[in-house]
Amino acid sequence: MSSDDTPDAIPSDENVAADMLAFAQMFVDGTAAEGQAFGWDAPSARRLDGLCEAFLAGDPGEDVIQSMVLAMGAYLGELIVRNGDGRWAYDAEACAARVDLPSRKPCFPHSRVDHRLHVGPAHSLRLFYEIAVTGPLLAEAPRSAK
């Protein structure tokens, strides 16, 4: 590290929220330009898995996939914020944006989109959205008895 390099400052939650909203709006505008209307409601969230399949059918390069992870992850997170009374925050440990929900564990929509695009349909965005917004949350695995 040179003397001109400084560690990145941790972004404020307000800056994270503004950035994620901007990326989410880019997703909405981009899909509209492709002839698909995505709004800020649950039916739109239910269509994300189909969009993933159509996107992957075009055999996009990794840089294009990462751009989609950023935009679609922000969109999915913004849907959860708006419909699940959540709020954007920055997770310093994960070095990632997350969505915090009242009385629930934080969720990481970008990570979920990344898994959906790289691993497959078992990482359903519809299910992720529905669990985040309406519950029930999956119980933690029981601890083993000693």
CA distances to 17, 42, 48, 90 from 12, rounded to whole Å, are: 9, 28, 28, 7
Does 8 have pLDDT greater than 90? no
Q: Is the peptide bond before 142 cis (omega within 30 degrees of 0)?
A: no
The CA distance from 143 to 79, in Å, is 33
Q: In this structure, what token pair is assigned to residue 18?
A: 């503004």
Please compute the mean of the pLDDT values over residues 124-141 and round it to a whole number.
76
**pTM here?**
0.86
Confidence of residue 7 (pLDDT cuts 50, 70, 90): low
> Phi and psi of 41, rounded to 5°?
-130, 170
Please compute the mean of the pLDDT values over residues 88-102 and round it to a whole number.
93
Q: Which residues make beta-bridge pairs with 91?
A: 96
Please compute the mean of the pLDDT values over residues 93-113 and round it to a whole number.
90
Q: Which residues make beta-bridge pairs with 87?
A: 100
Question: Among the residues of 1-146, which ranges form H helices?
Answer: 13-33, 42-46, 48-57, 62-84, 109-118, 125-134
Please compute the mean of the pLDDT values over residues 30-53 and round it to a whole number.
95
